[in-house]
Each structure stands twice: as C-alpha cells, then as structure tokens.
Amino acid sequence: MAVRPATRRDMETIIALIHGLADYEREPDAVVLDPDELAEHLFGPHPYAEVLIAEDADDGPVGFALFFHNFSTWLGKPGIWLEDLFVKPEQRGRGHGKALLVELARIAVERGCGRVEWSVLDWNEPSIAFYKALGAVPMDEWTTYRLEGSAITQLAGD
C-alpha cells in the first residue's frame, strides 16, 4: 500500500475514481467535468487543487483524496479542505482511506496548517464512524451554503 501525489498522467484514473465516488454518493449523473479543464486546474501553471492517489501493490490505484488550501482568520493560518476522499468499495477496510488521511495530515503539519476540514453526507454512516475513529469531530452547528451556476452570475451582476 502506498500514497503518492498525482501527476497529469493520472488523469484517467482520477476521473474514473470521481465517477466511482459519484456512484457511491447516489449522484452518477452529476459528474459533468471537462477532462482538459480539470487537468489544467490540477496540473496547470496555477493549480487550484491537489490529488493524492492510494495504490495497492497488486491492484494499482484504488482511491484518491482531492484537497486545496483555505484560510482561518481566527487562527491566522492556512488550512486544508478535503473536497473528496474515495476508496473503491472492494478495497475498503484495508487501510487505504486511513493512509490517504495520514498523508494529508502530514502535508498539513509540513505546511503549517491549523486544521483539516471536510463535509460528509449525513446518511454516510460508515464514513462518519471512520472519521470519528480517527479523532475527527462533527461541526454540527455549521450549515454549508452554496452559490452555483446562474446564482453566481446573477450576484456578479451579469
């Protein structure tokens, strides 16, 4: 088992894992990404996010974590937002998810981050139990809001 930073050569793997995540989250038709645009956002001159790949010695890539930096004004430090963590269902329970989070925590410490945060669907009890076992605590008093599509352009004045 190994975890490594993704490279542009991993694009097909990353996209396949994103589709696997969408299937798991019961949203298989929600993935509408453009592969070239995603590659530019991940590996272009100004990357917006980073990806870690979990590999099994026998089965190759089995999972991924996609993350980016945010910032805490109260801590006065950067943080890491874990956008997605996914391990193929047949590979779960073998330590790949924990290995991805261990590497993400190592990166957070190395970069002087004050926290690592993420969201989890409220019905995803296996993931919730997994995160709690690692020491993560729910932020139940917070509600996530989102602007997307036409709401963004309308607010921007277009």
Q: Annotated catalytic sites, by residue? A: 131
Beta strands 116-118; 77-87: pairing state: parallel
Task: In whole angstroms, give the CA distance from residue 52 to residue 99.
Answer: 10
Helix (H/G/I), strand (E/B), else coil: 61? strand
The tokens for 139 are 């932020």
Residue with tokens 């088992």: 1
Task: In whole angstroms, give the CA distance from residue 142 to residue 118.
Answer: 12
Task: In whole angstroms, give the CA distance from residue 13 to residue 139.
Answer: 32
User: Per DSSP, which regions of 18-59 are E strands?
Assistant: 50-56
Residue with tokens 């277009």: 158
Residue 70 bridge partners (DSSP): 79
Task: In whole angstroms, give the CA distance from residue 118 to residue 138.
Answer: 10
